[in-house]
Amino acid sequence: MKSARKMLLGSAGAAAMLVSNPALAQSNDAEIEALRAEVAALKAQLAELSAKVEKVAAAPAPQPGAVAAVEAKPAAEISWKGAPEIRGDGGWSFKPRGRLQVDAASINPSDPVATNTLGSTVRVRRAQFGIDGTIPGGFGYRVEADIGSGSAELTDMYLTYKASRNLTITAGQHKPFWGLEEMTSDLFTSFSERAAYHGAFGFERRVGLSATYAGKAVLLQGGVFADNAADLNGDGSNNSRSFDGRIVFMPRLGDTQLHLGASAHSRRFNDFSISTRYRARPFTRTTDTRFIDTRAFAASGEDSFGLEAFVNHGRVHAAAESHWLTARRIGAFADPTFNGGYAEIGYFLTNDSLAYKGGAVDRTKPSNPLGKGGAGAWQVNARYDWVDLSDAAVTGGRQQIFGLSLVWTPTDYVRFMANYGHLELTDAAVLAAGGGDYSADVVGMRAQIDF
């Protein structure tokens, strides 16, 4: 820019010298007039160029922040939440999820039992993999399958819609709101297995449509459900329909979380010929033996209700639930009512506490995890667990369990557990030394990782 300015100044000076010479002016007036015109044009260009130079010099230098502000926004954001979670514009998100649980257990009856499925066993309890995320418009989704048994079995498979801040609609396969422990993920339970009545009463995920209202201190859940997705087919069976509801009062009182709830369920099998059966495993899923068992009997449906209570304060928690189920028999038979439940108390040996969210126990996050100068979270739990499957003309037996567990959570997504359970059996369907009254001891361990 400076060189252009010097060139213009030089040309103008030369033209001025020619104009100031009288001899040249007299000899060639036409050329002089042309030079004058050229000088005038060059002066105008020089003035215009000088103005542009001064304008550029006066403009402030761009700041680093201003340059960053105009950079293009990335198409997706990736964060880490046990696994990579990808979020895009407009409400899209995608996250892989999974869990692996490996159990080892030993079952030792007090008397010889006529079965070869006891003793010591190692089993992949769960190997679940899936995806979940969100869709623009307030929708969410989850699809997950368990391949722990060697073949894929659908667990969760549903679509959600956030109708408002507190109201969520869910369609697909999910749990029909049985109670506190059933709605708590198996990743966060105090023992390797839930209380025996959950399995005895056939609690499972089913295909349905439901709504959940989650207020600050009140939770309302309700829906209509069919059968489990794996059982649905077109051969005329598995046509059941149920109505299921739950209410929870869950105030936070200072440092104490309180939980009081109740649930009710009414199910009709809706099949021309149907039989039902209620039975329970002995504190572990490493065996297919069920010591207590009603055997199959004809029924048209079942009605049940449950009560639940939970309190969590600092390192201590206590929980109790009970559920009553009445089977609606076909013919001139009295309808039997079965009952089960549990009561437990737990204490953290480390400076940690149970987490609670949305009417269920949530993930424990150690205050001093392993690998960051700490030893993780250590917890001990004691439980009394019972289920009674004998009533009216049905004798399925009674099982009581006195259990202890030690839970070590070294990091947020890794967990180890040791369990001991002493079983007392009355009128058991599986006989020991010719009788139905005997005891058994169960010792088990679990290693778990999830993401």
DSSP 391-435: ETTEEEEEEEEEEEEEEEEEETTEEEEEEEEEEEEES-SS-BTTB
Separation between Cα atoms, residue 346 and residue 359, nearest integer Å: 18
- Residues 298 and 330: beta-carbon distance below 8 Å: yes
Nearest by Cα to 397 from 362, 446, 440: 440
Q: What element of type H or E holds 437?
A: none
Fold classification of 92-450 is Porin (2.40.160)
Count of CB atoms within 10 A of residue 121's CB?
16
pLDDT of 62? 55
Strands (E), 330-376: 337-348, 355-357, 360-362
* SS3 of residue 261 by DSSP: strand
Count of alpha carbons within 13 angstroms of residue 400, beta-carbon side: 9
pLDDT of 71? 55
Nearest by Cα to 413 from 99, 94, 96: 99
pLDDT of 233? 66
Burial (CB count <10 Å: 0-12, 13-18, 19+), residue 279: buried
- Residues 289 and 114: beta-carbon distance below 8 Å: no
β-pairing verdict for 297-313 and 256-268: antiparallel
Residue reference for tokens 């679990």: 446
Q: What element of type H or E holds 29?
A: helix 29-58
pLDDT of 236? 58
Phi/psi region, residue 39 (left: phi>0; alpha: psi -120 to 50; beta: rest), is: alpha
Beta bridge partners of 185: none
Q: What element of type H or E holds 330?
A: none
Residue reference for tokens 């189920």: 325
pLDDT of 11? 45
* SS3 of residue 3 by DSSP: helix
- Residues 98 and 126: beta-carbon distance below 8 Å: no
Tokens of 320: 């109790």
Total count of residues recorded for the chain:
451
Evaluated on CA atoms 117, 123, 125, 126, the torsion sign reads negative
Burial (CB count <10 Å: 0-12, 13-18, 19+), residue 365: middle
Tokens of 256: 């104490």
Tokens of 200: 């005895």
- Residues 214 and 166: beta-carbon distance below 8 Å: yes
pLDDT string in tens for the chain (451-residue length): 444 444 434 444 444 443 444 444 455 576 677 777 777 777 777 677 667 666 656 666 656 554 444 455 667 899 998 899 999 988 999 999 999 999 999 999 999 997 878 989 999 999 999 999 999 999 999 999 999 888 899 999 999 999 999 999 999 999 999 999 999 999 999 999 999 999 999 999 999 999 999 999 999 999 999 999 988 865 556 789 999 999 999 999 999 999 999 999 999 999 876 889 999 999 999 999 999 999 999 999 999 999 999 999 999 999 999 999 999 999 889 999 999 999 999 999 999 999 999 999 999 999 999 999 999 999 999 999 999 999 999 999 999 999 999 999 999 999 999 999 999 999 999 999 989 999 999 999 999 999 9
